[in-house]
Structure 1
Amino acid sequence: MKKYNLLLLLMSLSVIALAQSNYNLLIGTYTNTGKSEGIYTYNFNTINGNTKLKQVTKDVANPSFLVLSPDKKFAYAVNETGPKSTVSAFKYNAATGAFTFLNKVDSEGADPCYLTADNDNVIVANYSGGSLAIFKRKANGSLSNAALVIKHTGKS
């Protein structure tokens, strides 16, 4: 009986592994130099290693870091443009790879380099100046202005 249960478990795990053989790769770029146009969505097949371009979201300034919401319905991108940097919110369609712009807010610091999102907030880390900003996520996925800004001072 133990062998039978083990066999069922292994078969179940292999079915789960095979079911998820395609993933979307979301690629942010620097648009102010070269030929990059914004956010690229590729389909990646884990079985054969092939990639295929699904979508290009243009007219997004330097979306150098991206994060999806936990429910994968929304995406957030830093717009790394120096002292006037912003964070953009998008509705995300995983089936098509399309991004629909929702809004943009001030990142509250220069050169944002990292984002994280939970069900209620999006947090951005700004490289230059060493600040963090926390934004509330609205029900439609858009962002509020910063609810909290933490500016680090001193030397490391």
Structure 2
Amino acid sequence: LPAATRPPLQVPYPDKTCSICHTNFVWKKTADRCFGCCRNKPGPKKIAAVIERAARGIDSCSTCYGEADRGDNQLCTLCYGRQKGKNERHAAKVRARKAREDAEAIFKGLGIAFDQAGQPQAGNPEPAVESPGVETPSVETPDIASPAI
């Protein structure tokens, strides 16, 4: 049908309005914003495709607005993989920061200071403190006679 004779596209979820503008309807059951208030606003063709899919009962991805092929109201496979990678990288950064803070606490307890870059400073180590009444064992090199050749 020509664009002039097509009925206007209606979002099929008229029971919930946008949490930002409070006038337009949301574009997805689990969404809380309308298309105009989304941070990654889709173009007119994407909006039309999302609305047509929703009218047929097919969900769309919240990130790329493509067909969500992973089930009801979930990200598509490609966006899910990207988000999973981001989550793993963030968790690795958190683990590394925690390990660095733990190491700094241990070194601080030993009297080793750290510079601005988080590296231990090379300084003069403090001499070992001997306990009173306890002899420090001395290490002597044994006399080994060199064999006659």
In the superposition, the TM-score normalised over structure 1's length comes to: 0.26
Q: Which has the higher contact order (CA 8 A, sep 6+)?
A: 1
In the superposition, the TM-score normalised over structure 2's length comes to: 0.27
More helix by share: 2
More strand by share: 1
Q: Which has the larger radius of gyration?
A: 2
